[in-house]
Amino acid sequence: MTTQAPWHRRHWVALDVAIAVAFTLLDTGLTLLGATWWPHHPGALAWVMLGMQALACGSLAVRRIAPLTVVGLLGAFTLAVTLLISPAGALTPAHHANSWAPLSTMMAAYGPLFYHPGRKVAFATLAAFTVVVMRPWDSTATIMTIGLLRTGVGPLLALYFDARRKMVLALVERAEREQHLLAERARAEERARLAGEMHDVVTHRVSLMVLQAGALRVTAKDEAVRQAAEDLRAAGCQALDELRDVVGILRAPSDGDHTPSVGGFDDLVAESVAVGIPTELIQEGDPALASPVVGRIAYRVLREALTNVRKHAPGARVTVRVGYEEAQLRLTVHNTAPASRPSIALAGSGSGLGIVHLRQRVELVHGKLRAGPGPDGGFNVEATLPASVPTAESTV
């Protein structure tokens, strides 16, 4: 059964908006209390800059989507306030020993290393951000230390949580592999046990038949009866040989499932394009979130769907969408209406049970498979699978 993701992951937009509102109110209150750059006698410029600060702090609502933009806005505001104080002299803060940067810089500094894929760009952005917040050209050691802490704690936490997330994914992957190996070993032991029982029971009965046929061949006086007994004895010996081969196959270890995982989607799409079916692959999210077991099932679904397009919808265009989420994998294959009539020989090939067997595999891991015609005359295949299957039975 698919485990429901925590509330903060399912409603991350509402959480980020709440964080942005909280930090905006906090920084506005601290500024008005004189904890940052607010002057004793604020003029129009001070109120304008206070509004700009609120907008910059409010950008925390998109810190997951655009972490570098949030850092850039807060850095630009801090630099503007610093320059207006010195050398422009347009603002005169009530307390010159304060840090001009709002507290929102701490939350903003967390984003680039955790949400942005480019580590080099993230480090370069944070380095420039740190210089602006510390303002080493016009500051004391205390202010520079405070500024360094504001921009340094967030990245350190981001590195820690990112490493922890990767470690958890690796442990889940390892647990699934171990469960798969245990299931394979249990199946191999059961196969060997059944093979032994079958060999003992069937061999015993067939051997009796062979011995009785041999005795009949020796004792019978009629030539026809002796020939029939010999044929029966020879057939029994052949059955024993074939039984030995079958038992050997059952006792041999399974080679395992070598079906590719989600990494093989590109090859399937390339094969479809190569045979003249325009196919587009759109992937969203991190493929590493899908476990190998789930990935192999999704691969089979996509392979069957593309095969059906080639059989039943010649000339159609295909769009493949794959969404990787922390709780589930969603695969959608849509083809437009066929441009010409399908070949009768090609459409009639196969067992006709491909979708049925796929639905059984998907339901084994507590997923859902829907297949049916689309409103545009095409066909849709949609599979929703759990991101991971930590139980041994799901690996079957």
Distances (CA, A) of 118 to 23, 113, 157, 162: 27, 8, 17, 14
Q: Quick one: pLDDT band at residue 391, thresholds 50, 70, 90? A: very low
Contact 97, 73 (CB under 8 A): no
* Average pLDDT of every residue of the chain: 83
Between 3.40.50.920, 3.30.70.270, 3.30.420.310, 3.30.565.10, what CATH number should domain 262-395 receive? 3.30.565.10
Query: Does the structure show a pLDDT above 70 at 148?
Result: yes
Measuring CA to CA, which residue among 110, 91, 113, 108 is closest to residue 100? 91
Query: Does the structure show a pLDDT above 90 at 351?
Result: no
pLDDT per residue as tens digits for the range 221-250: 888 888 888 888 788 777 766 666 566 555
74 CB contacts (<8 Å, ≥6 apart)?
56, 57, 59, 101, 102, 104, 105, 108, 129
- The predicted model gives 368-389 an average pLDDT of 91
pLDDT at 50: 95
**Extents of the domains making up the chain:** 7-139, 178-251, 262-395
pLDDT per residue as tens digits for the range 90-120: 888 988 888 889 999 999 998 898 888 888 9
Q: What is the CA radius of gyration of the chain?
A: 35
pLDDT at 60: 93
Check: pTM over 0.75? Answer yes or no: no
